[in-house]
Chains A and B, each alone.
Chain A
Amino acid sequence: MNHDAYDDNYIRAILNSVKSIAMVGASPVNVRPSYFAFKYLAQRGYDMIPVNPGHVGKSLLGKPFVASLADIDRPIDMIDIFRNSSHIMPVVDEALKLSPLPKVIWMQLGARDDAAAEKAEAAGIKVVMNRCPKIEYGRLSSEISWMGVNSRTLSSKRAPIPTQGMRLSLNRMSVGGGETAASDRAAKNKSEP
């Protein structure tokens, strides 16, 4: 596996298949990158679990912090590691003790540990290093294009509407008279030859 450059299909398949993501090193401080990424991924429908022993007892956007991966009560599809490169190996060792094993171990922008990656891959786990899942999701959905970022994708298909789609709204302000009065008059003129 070449970890210097990833094929878009590799990243796309990961982001399309995982459902639960444990974020190791998640911060409740709302200017930290981990907070941004946690919130963004939660809003895109991922089941997010914040892992940080320093914040047990607190919640991140309504999700309770757990101290370690072993404390999570359900299978985890992906572990997103928000730690420096020097702290990656112990997390990977902990992940390898889980049953079932996670499908993906993702190391955040700036973090890379090739030995840890090799160990995880030997156990059949997919690895991504030195990338941010929020940026990759935004890029592959082209949402990040709002920021002038090169998404390196092309499409001639109509983009999905970024909100939940247009729905009948009960909150629109209705304007009296006007159109209705004119059509009433037209109908009246018709019936009176």
Chain B
Amino acid sequence: MTDRHPGFSTLAVHAGAQPDPTTGARATPIYQTTSFVFNDADHAASLFGLQAFGNIYTRIGNPTNAVLEERVAALEGGTAALAVASGHAAQVVVFQQLLMPGDEIIAARKLYGGSINQFTHAFKSFGWNVAWADSDDVASFERAVTPHTKAIFIESIANPSGSITDIEAIAAVARKAGVPLIVDNTLATPYLIRPIDHGADIVVHSLTKFLGGHGNSLGGIIVDAGTFDWSKDNKYPMLSEPRPEYHGIKLQETFGNFAFAIACRVLGLRDLGPALSPFNAFMILTGIETLPLRMQKHCENAKAVAEFLAGHPKVAAVNYAGLASDRYNNLARKYAPKGAGAVFTFSLKDGYDAGVNLVSNLKLFSHLANVGDTRSLVIHPASTTHSQLDDAAKVKSGAAPDVVRLSIGIEDKEDLIADLEQALTA
């Protein structure tokens, strides 16, 4: 008899969780504790030496967080995961394992503005360099490869433009260059796109968005696909060389196909410190249980709103890959057949001022800097999330001055359309 492969919705509810051994509690308990007692001195030494599986201190691991980690790893089809305090923390921890001063990453220009800032400014002070490439031009990634390149970074569905990235084509470039492909899958969630199935080696998320889904808890996660051979060219000494922090252990040799997730935990999280609160892990876990249902509704509503806007006389353009006329519709059909997500942009014929007016006239949409909430959200990226970019970079990242970004919630779509209608005519 072969093992059954549980479906996505079953994994969303069950993966990683089990009734509590001590109390029988069925919901995952919030282990709100800093530390865990050792059985004896030998047990303590085994845990510190990475010889035993177990809990030491919540900065390194926590049982509530571990349930979240296994659940997202299962949903993404990865071998292991590590939860951290935010999506930004996930990126710092990932790159700390891969980059030494003087090394480079190639990143898509169409990225969340916060990531562009992090890569451009914060990473510069670590001596990590970024080369930018165009997600719509695979050859631009190929051209950017140098002997210092250590990774390629893209978003599956780009924020704010909602465009779909050809993951398989860029994965082929990464394979040829001998570097891992990292995919930020925040806007798609594994319900819509599983980047590992298309060649990604590492997946990162801001859990704050659709996975948590209720706009109440920050979190980030790193998923190890278990696909990359870190020891091949000794390009990744954190994984392949004896680690002085652990008396000479080689992580890939010891942990095999989940060594990257272990490195992120025992070298990244341990030493950089961005631990996720167990309370936030609990809130996000509860959100994930309804991820499939919510994403269906998010996508259904987003398509209806995009269609309404596309037919409105005051709207100049709608960029939603779920529309048949959109330039990314073919990629959406290939990578996200269940729906093209719920974050997209549109522009108004009367430009910047009309966009500002629209935002202030809306009554149901909330004007704030987040996406992936149950509530519908609106923002003007050029003056907020992408404000630190110059005008040319704004256009290239999909945040031109006349563009308004929507994140469509799970309200009744008729009410969302009515709100946009009154705001457009007000």
Bound CA–CA A8/B55 (angstroms): 26
Bound CA–CA A9/B2 (angstroms): 7
| Residue A1, interface by CB 8 Å | no
| Residue A192, interface by CB 8 Å | no
Q: Count contacts between A and B, CB distance < 8 Å.
A: 109
In the complex, how many angstroms separate the beta carbon of A172 from the nearest chain B beta carbon? Answer: 14
Bound CA–CA A67/B255 (angstroms): 28
| Contact digits for B374-387, partner A, Cβ 8 Å, 1 yes 0 no | 00000000000000
| Residue B192, interface by CB 8 Å | no
- The total of chain B residues at the interface (CB under 8 A) is 52
Residues of B within 8 A of A27 (CB): none
Residues of A within 8 A of B24 (CB): 158
Bound CA–CA A157/B11 (angstroms): 16
Bound CA–CA A161/B83 (angstroms): 25
| Residue B114, interface by CB 8 Å | no
Contact size range, A: 35 or more
**A36-B51, A138-B53, A149-B258 as given contacts; A159 in contact with B2, CB under 8 Å:** no
Bound CA–CA A30/B247 (angstroms): 9
Interface pick from A51-59, A91-99, A140-148: A140-148
| Residue B39, interface by CB 8 Å | yes
Bound CA–CA A40/B19 (angstroms): 25
| Residue A155, interface by CB 8 Å | yes
B1-18 interface (Cβ within 8 A of A) = 1-3, 6, 10-11, 14-16, 18
Contact A148 B254 (CB under 8 A): no
A147-171 interface (Cβ within 8 A of B) = 147-152, 154-163
Residues of B within 8 A of A155 (CB): 18
Contact B73 A149 (CB under 8 A): yes
Task: Report the nearest A residue to B231, measured CB to CB.
Answer: A110
| Residue B79, interface by CB 8 Å | yes
| Residue B220, interface by CB 8 Å | no
Bound CA–CA A146/B67 (angstroms): 8
| Contact digits for A30-47, partner B, Cβ 8 Å, 1 yes 0 no | 110101100110000000
User: Can you list 13 contacts pairing A with B, beta carbon distance less than 8 Å?
Assistant: A31-B49, A110-B253, A144-B53, A145-B16, A146-B54, A149-B73, A150-B70, A150-B258, A156-B18, A158-B18, A158-B19, A159-B20, A162-B21
Residues of B within 8 A of A (CB): 1-3, 6, 10-11, 14-16, 18-22, 24, 39, 46, 49-55, 61, 63, 65-67, 69-70, 73-74, 78-83, 242, 246-249, 253-256, 258, 261-262, 265
